[in-house]
Chains A and B, each alone.
Chain A
Amino acid sequence: MSGFNKVVNSYEEALEGFKDNMTVMVGGFGLCGIPEGLIEQVYNMGCKGLTAISNNAGVDGFGLGKWLEKRQISTMIGSYVGENELFEKLLLSGEMEVILTPQGTLAEKIRAGGAGIPAFFTATGFGTKVAEGKETRNIDGRDYVLEPSLTADFALVKAWKADTMGNLIFNKTAMNFNPMMATAGKITVAEVEEIVEPGELDPNFIHTPGIYVQRVIKGNSFEKRIEQRTVKA
């Protein structure tokens, strides 16, 4: 079984081969379901010129906000990036390029990338700035935009549980972009809360089969910061 043992024991090992100018996908919706320790490790390594694909860009000093501090991102591809003052500064000064992509199109670009589909037509964004310069086509009376898919050198995802073979289960809405990103990385690293032996996860309930996952690391600690703590009145 050792050929299928994906577990690594340090963050250094988890990100071995990660370099400047790479394209990296980072799972999460806001700060929910982000691979905190892997983000920290890229920050510590200081790699620059990164193309980061993530729905959001973290907040000041946390999540991808860390990478902004060290000017590690040269191009950001996301759908909603406005929770972060430093982000605004880097954008206005031209230090970072931002490609805003509708959230569903972003999710599908990643899904398609992982599934070997080079591009797809979607009605989303037709007649808007998003469609500028893109091929369009009328199919059965409706207009669509051709959207190329996305893949990455590394996909950094967060899961709840893994077995040593890299089968993953996510928890609640911390799933979000993580399963598609896991399929679209040349090297997918899953940071998880718990690693169990093969056979302990019910095959009926695996979200991401291990074939997509190259490395699994048990996270040191998860802060799981909440952006909008809202309770019943």
Chain B
Amino acid sequence: MALSREQIAMRVAQELEDGFYVNLGIGIPTLVANYVPKGVEVMMQSENGLLGMGEFPTEETIDPDLINAGKQTVTAATGAAFFSSAESFAMIRGGHVDLTVLGAFEVDQQGNIASWMIPGKLVKGMGGAMDLVAGAENIIVTMTHANKHGQSKILKECTLPLTGAQCIKHVITELALMEIKDGAFHLIERAPGVSVEEIKEKTEADLVIPDNVPEMNV
């Protein structure tokens, strides 16, 4: 069975380590916060100027001056800090964030990522995505393996305008966990009950398949 959005988030959450500073993008990445393993303490960085994002507020504690990068009202966790956008991106660009999780339209085997613009559709802007992919050493991309028409989004070469070049090393889809190295995707884990054949079929990129591909533990 292909993973649900929640299961993709659960698998990503297994990569969290105690003491990590983490930036989560909008969509599936946001859900990762719900599955932080027991005994692991992480601080969430929100690029609009908050380190230590807490849970959503109540109607009583809601504060228009306290939002996350998705413009949702949030709270500050114990030990949080506020700072300017320049400071925030110094953290990101300077490589101080331990793990970044974000979505994508396409990823290719050179580690290129396209996530901000579809030609012909209205362009809203890249926000902080280009800074995040350029600055972070440890990035996990969460995405669907193929589009609604079954066309692979795991490609030899991205077709859409890039967000960043040669910066992605790990991708988790509803079917597989893959690592990008030496110009190819390497299959690391498969979703429970999903065959290597199915993954192969839905992957346009060069895919290196080891003899044994364990199932994910989700």
Contact = CB atoms under 8 A, between A and B. Distances in A.
A172 B82 contact: yes
B191 to A, nearest CB: 28
A92 B129 CA distance: 24
Contacts of B125: 78-82, 100
Interface string A86-99: 00100110000000
B49 interface: yes
Contacts of A226: 62, 64, 67, 73
Given A122-B93, A127-B166, A229-B73, A30 B67 contact: yes
A37 interface: no
B74 interface: yes
Nearest to A143: B165
Nearest to A81: B125
- Does more than half of chain B's interface fall in helix, strand or loop, or is it mixed? loop
B128 A104 contact: yes
Interface in B153-185: 161-166
Interface centre among A102, A106, A122, A178, by most chain B C-beta atoms within 10 angstroms, is: A102
Interface residues of B, number: 53
B130 A125 contact: yes
Contacts, number: 175
Interface string B4-43: 0000000000000000000000000000000000000000
B130 A124 contact: yes
Interface centre among B46, B55, B129, by most chain A C-beta atoms within 10 angstroms, is: B129
A83 to B, nearest CB: 8
A32 B88 contact: no
Band of interface residues on A: 35 or more
Contact of A228 (B73, B86, B123): B73
B193 interface: no
Contacts of A103: 47, 85, 89, 126-128, 131
Interface centre among B72, B122, B124, by most chain A C-beta atoms within 10 angstroms, is: B124
Contact of B134 (A32, A106, A124): A124
A229 B86 contact: no
Given A80-B125, A100-B123, A103-B89, A173 B50 contact: yes
Contacts of A107: 84-86, 88-89
A165 to B, nearest CB: 21
Interface in A175-231: 175-180, 207, 224-231
Contacts of A180: 84-86
B113 to A, nearest CB: 10
Interface in A1-49: 29-33
A231 B58 CA distance: 5
A150 interface: no
A78 B124 CA distance: 10
Given A79-B127, A226-B73, A229-B73, A32 B93 contact: no
Given A79-B125, A80-B124, A123 B82 contact: no
Given A80-B124, A104-B135, A124-B134, A227 B165 contact: no
A32 B50 CA distance: 13
B203 to A, nearest CB: 23
B48 A32 contact: yes
Contacts of A129: 117, 161-162
Contact of B73 (A80, A170, A231): A231
A215 B161 CA distance: 43
Contact of A179 (B72, B84, B117): B84
A121 to B, nearest CB: 11
Contacts of A111: 86
Nearest to A82: B124
Contacts of A231: 56-59, 62, 73
7 contacts: A32-B67, A103-B47, A108-B86, A125-B164, A126-B164, A128-B161, A230-B56
